[in-house]
Structure formats: C-alpha cells, structure tokens
Structure 1
Amino acid sequence: MTTEPKISGVDLARQALLAAREAAKKNGAARHKPKRRATTVVRREGREPLGLGSAISRMMTERGMAAPVAGGSVLADFDTILAAVVPELAGRVQAVAFDAETGRLDVVPDLPAAGTQLRWSAPKLIAAANEKVPARTSAPCTS
C-alpha cells in the first residue's frame, strides 16, 4: 500500500503561480516590469540651501520691504480708474493681480461681453493707469 504525499495549500498556490507565469509568457506578456518614475520634490522648509538672491528676496518679502507700492495703488484704485475711463464697466471687472516688474495688470470680467468691451477700451484704460502710477516706482501697465 503506497500512500501519495498530501499536497498542501501552499504547494497548490505555487503550482498555480508557475502555471500563470508560463501562460503569461506564452501570451506575450512583458518580461520585465515597467520602471517607475522617480520624482524628486524640493522642500523649502528652511533646511535646504538657497541661492543668495532667493534668500535676500525672501527675507525682504517676509519683512514687508518688497511690497510693490505702485502695484498696490493700481489694484486699490482700479475701480476708480475704470469708472473714470469706462463707466459702463464699473463693478463688472475686477483687478486680481499686478506684476510690478513687467507692468502686467490681470483683470477678470464677470461676463464675456464685459471682457470684449474691456478689450476695446484697453488702450484708454492702460493710459489712465499709467497716469495714476508714477513711472519711477514701477514699469508702466501693459495689456
């Protein structure tokens, strides 16, 4: 009387895995796994080195020494400038950002029609904003 060795669940799992691998090879599955992309994240928590220019501009911003005066006045007075130049757009267009280095003023109209009318009157609006902002404190506004 010969007894066959009992096959455990682990052995059955191994056999099933080997069979699946063989079937994948026959079906043309990839032989190697695709490589994962390694991404690096730069974290600025005060521990990594900074360039001298970045460190100085960060320090000036943190201490309130780099606030563009002209940009603040253009943003604060935009409603007044707009009402003087194009009164029908007053309250329908909002200034959201001003870049003092380039002189770019970003505005957002509430409706596409207001945006079209704003584009038509952009030269007059730019001239009025440039008059309001002294030229020595920043670059002139552009469209």
Structure 2
Amino acid sequence: MTTESELSGVDLARQALLAAREAAKKNGAARQKPKRRTTTVVRREGREPLGLGSAISRMMTERGMAAPAAGGSVLADFGTILAAVVPELAGRVQAVAFDAETGRLDVVPDLPAAGTQLRWSAPKLITAANEKVPGANVRALHVLVLQRRLA
C-alpha cells in the first residue's frame, strides 16, 4: 500500500469521491432516475385550428398547385440585374436557363467579348441575383457560346 505522503493528486481525488459517495448513501440521498420525456402527437381531424402557412400549404396540395419557383424570377429579372451590375452589357446578354438544384444560371451573350466581360463580372452578378431574388441561391454563372453559321 501507499502512504499518505506518496499519494498524488489523482489518488486524493479518487479517495475524496469515494468518501463523498459513501456519505451520500448514509444520508439517504439515493440516485434519482432521470425523467422520461413524453411527447404528444396532435392529430388533426379537420376541427383543430391550423396555422396560416399550414392551411395554405394544405389547400395548395389539395388543389394540385405548386409554389412559384425562384428560378423563374431569376430568368425574368436577369435584364434588370445585369443593367444594375454591368450596364454596358444590357440588352446584349440573355439568360436562358436556371437549375435550382445546382444553382447554375446559363446565359448567352451576343458576342464573344461580351462573354469575356460576363465571366469577369460573374461574382458581382451572382451576388446581385441572390440579393434581388430571395431564395434563388445562384451559385454559378455559365456562359454559353452562341454558334454562328457562315453564309
């Protein structure tokens, strides 16, 4: 066995913990079991009031309606977004597609030089599109090349 002078801090802490546990048992402080959490399930049978958002969602589902996608707004507002960020390209670039899952906005410039300027301005355009159309989540601008046929 070790003597009192050879005990380290860890050993002293263990002894103090054991002494405290024994004292608690003698004083009747039994270990309490944690309370079980119970959850209640609200079942709606048509009589309970619904929140406004839930009522509108249920109505739209029942009637086969879908909420408008943010992508349509991005395509519709691209001209104003472009004019605000890069006014010299206004009317020279057209947004053709927006993929909401990937956040990719496809645009077509009328000249290769306009495409180069679009690529340079892409971070500003993406930021402006996300500010103008909340929930759009545009993450990438993809500049498509317009193929022209020679006559």
Normalising by the residue count of structure 2, what TM-score does the alignment of the two structures yield? 0.45
Q: CA RMSD in A?
A: 13.5
SS of the residue 1:121 aligns to: helix
SS of the residue 1:45 aligns to: coil
Bigger Cα displacement from structure 2, 39-48 vs 6-15: 6-15
Which blocks of at least 5 consecutive residues in structure 2 are unaligned?
135-150
| Deviation digits for residues 79-101 of structure 1 (CA, Å, limit 9, x no counterpart) | 00000000000000000000111
Q: For the Cα contact (< 8 Å) 1:57–1:66, is it kept in 2? A: no
SS of the residue 1:5 aligns to: helix
Bigger Cα displacement from structure 2, 37-46 vs 3-12: 3-12
Bigger Cα displacement from structure 2, 73-82 vs 33-42: 33-42
Bigger Cα displacement from structure 2, 84-93 vs 23-32: 23-32
**How far apart, in 2, do the equivalents of 1:27 and 1:118 lie?**
78
| Deviation digits for residues 56-103 of structure 1 (CA, Å, limit 9, x no counterpart) | 999999997456521010000000000000000000000000011111
Q: Which residue number corresponds to residue 58 of structure 2?
A: 58
**How far apart, in 2, do the equivalents of 1:47 and 1:40 lie?**
18
Bigger Cα displacement from structure 2, 46-55 vs 123-132: 46-55
1:42 to partner: Cα distance:
46
**How far apart, in 1, do the equivalents of 2:26 and 2:37 lie?**
28
Q: 1:29 to 1:76 in 2, by over 3 A?
A: farther
1:130 to partner: Cα distance:
0.8
1:119 to partner: Cα distance:
0.4
1:14 to partner: Cα distance:
108
| Deviation digits for residues 88-143 of structure 1 (CA, Å, limit 9, x no counterpart) | 00000000000111111000000000000000111100000011121xxxxxxxx9
1:26 to partner: Cα distance:
110
**Runs in 1 of length 4+ with deviation above 6 angstroms?**
1-64
Q: For the Cα contact (< 8 Å) 1:92–1:114, is it kept in 2? A: yes
Which blocks of at least 5 consecutive residues in structure 1 are unaligned?
135-142
**How far apart, in 1, do the equivalents of 2:11 and 2:112 lie?**
69
**How far apart, in 1, do the equivalents of 2:8 and 2:23 lie?**
23
Q: 1:60 to 1:113 in 2, by over 3 A?
A: farther
Q: For the Cα contact (< 8 Å) 1:99–1:105, is it kept in 2? A: yes
Normalising by the residue count of structure 1, what TM-score does the alignment of the two structures yield? 0.48
Q: 1:88 to 1:105 in 2, by over 3 A?
A: same
Q: 1:113 to 1:99 in 2, by over 3 A?
A: same
Aligned residues: 135
